[in-house]
Structure 1
Amino acid sequence: MAENAATTVVVAAHLDDAVLSCAGALNPGVALVTVFAGDPPVGFLGSYDASTGARSSHDRMDERRLEDRAAAELLGAIPVHLAFPERQYQRRSGWKGLIKRGGAPIPTRDEIADALRAHLEQATRVYAPAGFGHNDHLIVRDAVLALRPDAVLYADLPYTLGAEPAAPPGITGRSVEVVTLNPDRAQAKVEAFACYGSQLDPLEAAFGDLLDPTRLGTERLFAAS
């Protein structure tokens, strides 16, 4: 699928999502906008970060943004990082219903849409997560669709590995396109994903080998009719 780089925007919920799920659209000059790329509150250590051995979530986010820039550079995409802290850093009910003390406010769909507006208004083609597997993906999808109902939704890997979903969660009336990356593109995808070293071990522990081009060489899109 050829993309007009100057007018294509790929929106992701988290750093690494788009490279893993929609690399076929990440051609040179395409904007890669990650919503939940902001810093955690000062002194806050997220539960997921802690489980992966991080001692500081602030340092971990610095590391992850550097990883994203390196991955985008390999593909020629232009990374854009919005300032919303991701779910593990938010002030919400946690384990046994306890409120995470010191967590960041939970953004609304409309707040996310407002932050995305300038990036999407002039784009000819927009991609967004379909919303499989993670609530952050769902709210980003809904924020994008509030602005651009014509956005193409991509199946969220690795959550949909081995599956062939016919539609995004809670959405009907979209056509399905299965994109098979050519061998060079699939290899470039796994090389870019390998840049996310801080996330690779925990993701592979849950989903198996994610640096195998034969596993990641197929992407699934849902286009508005």
Structure 2
Amino acid sequence: MESGQRLLVISPHLDDAVLSCGLLIAAHPRTVVCTVFTAPPAENMTTDWDRAAGFADAFEAMRARQAEDREALGLLSAIPVHLLFRDAQYHASPDADELITALNHAVSETKPTLIVMPLGLFHSDHVLVSNACLALMRRQPATQFVAYEDVPYRRMSGVVQARLCDLAKRGYAAQPPHAFDAPGTMQHERMKRAAIDAYRSQLRAFGPEGQANLFSPERCWQLGCDESAPTTQNA
């Protein structure tokens, strides 16, 4: 990857970017990481995931998780941007057009030369964000887009292949972008592990078995679109 690249990494939740492409972020200081789902629910509640992470309620969870994210990204010399949407566990997923507008604003503010987005595996929040990024790609034809394989869902049998097939049917091409592979230096490995460790609540929720699936080689796909294909986010 060119050293002068300005990266904008789109992360569904407060940890996805670091888990999925932390080495890439570590290799490019001042990367902007825009996380979509960072707001608490309108009325407080307690979910199974927040309880497993050690929180009494959602308000406590989101305050702590935002702080963890700032700490983790600080260890990678990255810049956090938190969009105030609510994730699916809080029963308030955003409208697709509203999400696309917010992401488009983040792009306008950041002016990246490369946008790194989730491939969109398994989790409804990840699919929603990925589809919004695909719609954004058609609005930003001069900007390169790369999709990272979402950790830990990339370990699930067949999910990557199914998503790539779905994208192909909708007019999107995905190729392994060897030029964008993150350099696997020991320094970057240490930085990524330290950043992951900063997500203390999420590691608690994953448990020992789940944590074992978090450390895997990063893999991205260079994306392109067929201009003859439909232009909606669900195309």
Any idea what the Cα deviations from partners look like across 1:60-80, whole Å, max 9, x if unmatched?
A: 100000000000100000000
Secondary structure of the equivalent of 2:8?
strand
Q: Partners of 1:80 and 1:33 in 2: how far apart?
A: 5
Distance in structure 2 (CA, Å) of the matches to 1:88 and 1:111: 19
Q: Distance in 1 between matches of 2:18 and 2:193?
A: 9
CA distance in 2, matches of 1:14, 1:223: 22
- Alpha-carbon shift at residue 205 of structure 1 (Å): 4.1
Residue 50 of structure 1 corresponds to 51
Name the structure 2 match of 1:37. 38
Q: Measure, in 2, the Cα distance between the counterparts of 1:158 and 1:146.
A: 24
Q: Which amino acid aligns with 1:194?
A: D
TM-score using structure 2 length: 0.79
Identify which of 126, 147, 157 aligns with 1:137.
Answer: 126
Give structure 2 stretches of 5+ with no counterpart.
Answer: 139-143, 225-235
CA distance in 1, matches of 2:194, 2:154: 20
Q: Quick one: structure 1 residues 151 and 167, their matched pair in 2 at CA, closer, same or farther if it must change by over 3 Å?
A: farther
SS, match of residue 160 in structure 1: helix
Corresponding residue for 1:186? 189
CA distance in 1 between counterparts of 2:37 and 2:21 reads 17
Larger RCO: 1 or 2 (CA < 8 Å, sep 6+) = 2
- 1:171 matched to 2:171? The reply is no
Match of 2:146 among 152, 158, 169: 152
In 1, are the aligned partners of 2:30 and 2:78 still within 8 Å (CA)?
Answer: yes
* Distance of 1:206 and 1:133 partners within structure 2: 19
4+ residue runs over 6 A deviation: none
For 1:109, the equivalent position in structure 2 comes to: 96
Taking the aligned partners of 2:59 and 2:3, their CA distance within structure 1 comes to: 35
| Identical counterparts, % of pairs | 32
Which protein is richer in helix relative to its size?
2
5 Å matches for 1:82-93? Answer: 82-90=83-91
Give 1:159 deviation, angstroms: 1.6
Q: The residue matched to 1:79 in structure 2 has which SS? A: strand
Change (3 A) 1:68 1:75: same
Contact 2:34 2:83 in 1 (8 A): yes
Q: In the TM superposition, what is the alpha-carbon distance from 1:3 to its structure 2 partner?
A: 4.8
Q: After superposition, what is the alpha-carbon deviation per residue over 1:91-124, rounded to whole angstroms, capped at 9, x for unaligned?
A: xxxxxxxxxxxxxx33122111111111114321
**Secondary structure at the counterpart of residue 22 of structure 1:** helix
1:12 aligns with 2:1: no
Against the structure 1 CA distance between its residues 117 and 79, is the aligned structure 2 distance closer, same or farther, given a 3 Å change threshold?
same
Deviation readout 1:133-172 (Å, 9 max, x if unpaired):
3110111011111112442110001122487945744213
- For residues 198-220 of structure 1, give each alpha carbon's deviation from its aligned partner in whole angstroms, at most 9, with x where no partner exists: 00022244524267xxx43x211
Q: Unpaired segments of 5 or more residues in structure 1? A: 91-104
For these two proteins, the number of residue pairs brought into alignment is: 206
Q: CA deviation at 1:131?
A: 0.8
Check whether the contact 2:119–2:130 (CA below 8 A) recurs between aligned residues. Answer: yes
Contact 1:9 1:126 in 2 (8 A): yes
